[in-house]
Chain A
Amino acid sequence: MANYEFKLPDIGEGVVEGEIVKWLVKAGENVAEDQPLVEVMTDKATVTIPSPRRGVVLQTHGSEGDIAKVHQVLVTLDVGAGGPSAAASESKPALGGGNKSQPVSARRDAAETNGGSQGGKVLATPVTRRMAREHGLQIEQIVGSGPQGRVTKADVMAAIGQGAGAVATEKMVPSPIAPPRIGPPSPLTTSRADQRVPLKGLRRRVAEKMVRSKFTAPHYTFVEEMDATALSSSRSRLNESLAASGSAEKISYLPFICKALVAALKKFPTLNANFDEATQELIIRGAYNFGIAAATDEGLTVPVVKDVDRLSLRELADEIARLGTAAREKKLRVEELSGGTFTITSLGQKSGLMATPIINHPEVAILGVHRIRKRPVVVDDQVAIREMMNLSLSFDHRVIDGAIGAEFTYALIGFLEHPELLFLELR
């Protein structure tokens, strides 16, 4: 009998801990090599961690909902006296590079292989399937967060857009972590009773990040409007020529905004930076990696477009689209969620007049983009109809003075109002 301690590996850049979402094995169970052991949610992603060894589970360490530190023992296996999988090096218990970037979606595949005969079908209970059907959702389009990747009622509720709060109105949210306490039957009181919904998973990560950002970085927010008429017509002309060349592709405003940001940030490099709390240093980043905040069924996710400065408008458009889809389908890889230098939050159709974006810690600035609308404005003492857009930028006041932030904003607006200026920046 040989015991093997499997430790939480370093599964992504800078990840130091993960929440144990779901144990997929229990003590006494035989596990095969590569059999999923546990689902762990880091502040980057949820990953299923497969067993590096074949053996019998002697003990699982930590309960669902507990935080496990990297290199903390997760599972103790009895791997016998030199079984066939002994080749797996004990000196490398952590997953190798390949595993490090294991797609989140692999959870389902692994579980099905494990289960043996799912035949690629989505796992979901009948009630969950009905709920999806009644809301016009295809269950295949919903990524499951339950055991073995099962699509849960909560997943469907999230997909419907009602989020965690709506889930709480459901009669019962069985949870492997803490089954809700439901008292004696009393229909009247159940409908009026307060509900306590524990923060779990991504929601907990989002909450923690927001708190950290807001309580470590003193924010100030700067709002200005800009005239997007030229940008709009440039974009229209580009899309028309794309269409004329037979492409179905359409480029949104975001790639233009990214390019303008690169140009502006080059003038104000301290805004393309991370702040290291430990050393109290500002790390001015060489790369231009922009986080694009995306609302997903489970909560806020920020995939990162790498090397924005090196991508063409079309490449940027493709990459933003790809990451957006991956985010909704929860297929983002860990590295696609990390390494950002600056973040854009596109506030969409219901974007309001202004907002106070929260900086994506440890970055130092964030740009909120509002909707372009035709508004009457004064141009050359005449009231003219122009396509106007507001920008809301938040800065970490510890390192970015108000004047710098304002100047940066006007530089950015300059590029956006006169997109031809970007030619000057081309290399």
Chain B
Amino acid sequence: MIQSTATALPSRAEDKRGLSLAQLIEMYRAMLVIRTLDERMMTLQRQGRVGFYGACTGQEGACIGSAFALRPTDWIFPALREGAAMLMRGFPLVPYVAQVFGNRGDLAKGRQMPSHQSARSVNQVSWSSCIGTQLPQAVGAAWAAKLKGDDTVVLAYMGDGATSSADFHVAMNFAGVSKAPLVFLCQNNHWSISVPSQRQTASESFAVKAKAYGFPGIKVDGNDVEAVYGAAAEAVERARARGGPTLIEAETYRIGAHSSSDDPTRYRDPREVEEWKARDPIERLRRKLLASNQWNERRDQELKEKILAEVNAAIDEAEKLAPPAPETLFEDLYAVEPWNIAEQRQELLAYIKKA
């Protein structure tokens, strides 16, 4: 169900790029991990055990399918809902969950809100909550890779709302001009919090915008993980071959709220949600696997139970960790601590000691 935009790209609808069953299961597992984790974390959020959460629910296909096309050396510039890519690329669950708790198990020392993970070990950089800012950065990183002669490709995620930002234009333009090796992946989940995607653009699609910047844009069914993978793999391949950037619009749907702070029943029709639930990317892949001889309900159930156990174990372990030490508040600001930071650190520690 890939719709080609006005680019010269041929439709890749049937091109599954030769994914093996094992690879499909690997993606299926990655999608289940984030689905399970999201459900558990939303529950924890409602219990007051974590402060905030942004779920990927419904969009797992777009995230996992695209990230699956990368090599470990490739870089990801994520937006809010791409933590799952880190996990799939080998980042452990416990520090991931510790980030949500914001405790000392978090690599970023509890400094950012939940759902703002990053890990150098899997080449996933840090996201700031500021919509679109990661896009020109992704161009810069890809440009740098090109200047250094590396074959690294950069995958930059955004939502449909981000295409309205100045940084989107800037990034698309810089990317087109520099022919940097990167892939923009726009998760068009139809809602920027409460604003529907047709209020973000009058274009016939988001993908079509690429044309004006001089590189291909394709629209793909974001809930078809294989299709997403196919489109991403081709774009990544082209980028690696110095063919320049691509914009992929993965059309998907945000089944849940924007975040734990949001109530989507106030602005959207529940029937629309039900329609999209019927196109759930995980269920679609599950049906495909079950249709093969090598997957069955028992294995499916076992996998789900195993993942739930892993997630619960990770939550148990991460939740036990202590909050970040107070002095970490002042770390990592400068390479060498300047006098004002040293003074303020001492002031806080002395205050805590007295209190």
Q: Within the complex, are A and B direct neighbours (CB within 8 Å)? A: no
Residues of B within 8 A of A (CB): none
Residues of A within 8 A of B (CB): none
